[in-house]
Amino acid sequence: MSNIIFTKSLCAAAAIAVTAAGFSVSASAQNRTVRSVEVSYADLDLASEDGQSTLQGRLKGAVRKVCGSYDARNLTEVQDHGICMDQANASAQRASVTIMAAAKSDKPAETAMLISN
């Protein structure tokens, strides 16, 4: 029962993430640098709650690393950082759904990429 709820939650989160990513557009998108971080999870047991929790923690850390820091006094940096966080979080959600689906089908991959435009 908890696996069904977990799967439904992941699917709902993925749908929301894809929708949110579609709405986050910036006028300066052409000048953006694309950054990525590789997240390894080959050492995790994704069938366990501990493994899933550790994966989520690694993805959150990767989002912070991709987007970096910003000067809170600079409104452009604040806006750009917010857009980066939205896009990276959406990417992390999609990666999480893909990773968990692969793990459940006994075809797990070893890494996931987070990309922020």
Domain ranges of the chain: 2-116
114: which strand partners?
A: 37
pLDDT band at 14 (very low <50, low <70, confident <90, very high): very low
Over residues 59-112, the pLDDT tens digits come to 999 999 999 999 999 999 999 999 999 999 999 999 999 888 888 887 766 666
Whole-number Cα distances in Å, 84 to 2, 77, 95, 96 = 32, 10, 16, 18
Of the candidates 26, 23, 54, 24, the residue with the CA atom closest to the CA atom of residue 41: 54
As given in the structure block, the two tokens for residue 113 are: 């990429």
Higher pLDDT, 5 or 87: 87
Q: What is residue 111's predicted lDDT score, i.e. its pLDDT?
A: 65
Higher pLDDT, 11 or 55: 55
How do beta strands 35-40 and 111-116 pair? antiparallel
Q: What is residue 30's predicted lDDT score, i.e. its pLDDT?
A: 55
Whole-number Cα distances in Å, 90 to 1, 44, 50, 77, 117 = 26, 22, 22, 20, 12
Q: Determine if the pTM surpasses 0.75.
A: no
